[in-house]
Amino acid sequence: MTVWEAIQQRHSVRRYQDKPVEPEKLDQLLEAARLAPSAGNRQEWRFVVGTDADMRQKLIAAANGQSFVGQAPVVIVACAVDNEHVMPCGQLSSPIDVAIALEHIALQAAEEGLGTCWVGAFDEAAVKELLGIPETVRVIELMPLGYPATTAGPKSRLDRDEIVMYESWSQ
């Protein structure tokens, strides 16, 4: 599979097969995240990988009752250990860098025949308490992953001419 094919195939999966993710595939996904770029090579990301069924069930409540979070055989809890570094452009680097690493995971997952979903609807304090994450660490996203139980249709996206401008905004 090419990167382009992975981009085209990747979609948010909210129904998973009752099938574990092979350790070697999970290792490959985490290696993809490790190799992601970050601002100043800070590598702020840290990942708590949850495969325990009881823990994943408890994460459902912390994820605003989204049951697919517990249904997925793996949940990656993506965290940032540095929450204060601001890039010269004024943006906080950690959420951006963690997102880049997670997208590396999502695209590698597509190549491996796995599905993922970006989950930003969660109670950070509840996730931290459940997983023993230190107060100084931010939980950026949850990413359930596993074998999709259904196939997706075509993605609905804006036309390129609606999102791309050349040379200036006013075009």
Supply the pLDDT for residue 152. 82
Q: What percent of the chain has pLDDT over 90?
A: 86
Give the tens place of pLDDT for each residue, 52-65: 999 999 999 999 99
- Read off the DSSP letter of residue 132: T
Question: Is the whole model's pTM more than 0.85, yes or no?
Answer: yes
Torsion 114-77-118-28 (CA) sign: negative
- Nearest Cα to Cα of residue 47 among 12, 23, 22, 81: 81
CA dist 127 and 45 (Å) reads 16
- Three-state SS for 121? coil
What are the residue ranges spanned by the domains of the chain?
3-163
The count of other CB atoms within 10 Å of the CB of residue 146 is 24
| 81 class by beta-carbon count within 10 Å (0-12 exposed, 13-18 middle, 19+ buried) | middle
Supply the pLDDT for residue 171. 60
Tokens of 84: 């204060």
**Residue range 3-163 in CATH 3.40.109.10:** yes
User: What average pLDDT score do residues 27-44 get?
Assistant: 96
Supply the pLDDT for residue 9. 87
